[in-house]
Amino acid sequence: MIKNIVFDFGGVLVGLDKGASVRAFKDFGADVIAKYIDDYRSEDLFNDLELGKITMEDFCDEARRQCDKQLADEDIKNAWLLLLTGVAQKKLDKILSLKKKYRILLLSNTNAFHWEYSVNNYFKDTKTYFEKCYLSFELGLAKPDRRMFEFMIEDSEIVPEETIFIDDSEKNRNAAIALGIHTMSVETNEDWTIRNFDF
């Protein structure tokens, strides 16, 4: 019997438009950064930001160095924010409905910059929707590292076999399965609200 639902953030809750962000970076000649986004790369510069090893200001400095261009922090930040397209209200409403029956958690690889923007513009108060949020930049761990899942399991005192994890990445779902967690596969930006959640 499922008692806990764990949501991924990017692509599952918040919509993603990597093309818009890629075009913005290319427009001011930051092709190196555009390629990171276009390839969904999670190592190097982006990985350091998602693990909380560097600040957004450090990210901007490194982006300028790699591109060898004097780009303004604001331009870099605005171009990267174009990756996020918002959270559909029907998804937030569905989470509120599911909260009546299940414990709802969030497990995400994200960075402080995108997360703060999302909280301020999409959620306002995350406690309204999620009992707890487990974020890579706060934990210094990122999916599919099993330690991130193990931390969530121990901290929330959930039973893996009573938990379902919803993610658009196969490697992340496989990491959860290895720990006994059930999974639901969704496509990036899918409207999963029409799915059957009677587990």
Catalytic residue set: 8
Report the DSSP pairing between strands 84-87 and 103-108.
unpaired
Q: What's the rounded Cα separation, in Å, for the pair 1 and 56? A: 42
Q: How far apart, in whole angstroms, are the C-alpha atoms of residue 119 and residue 122?
A: 6
Name the 3-class secondary structure at 6. Answer: strand
Q: Angle formed by the axes of helices 56-67 and 73-81, to 10°?
A: 100
Q: How far apart are CA 41 and CA 77, in angstroms?
A: 18
CA proximity to 181, closest of 199, 162, 154, 157: 162
CA 185 – CA 85 distance, rounded (Å) = 21
Measured between alpha carbons, how far is 14 from 119 in angstroms, rounded to an integer? Answer: 11
Question: In which element (H, E) is residue 155 found?
Answer: helix 146-156
Cβ atoms within 10 A of the Cβ of 84, count? 19
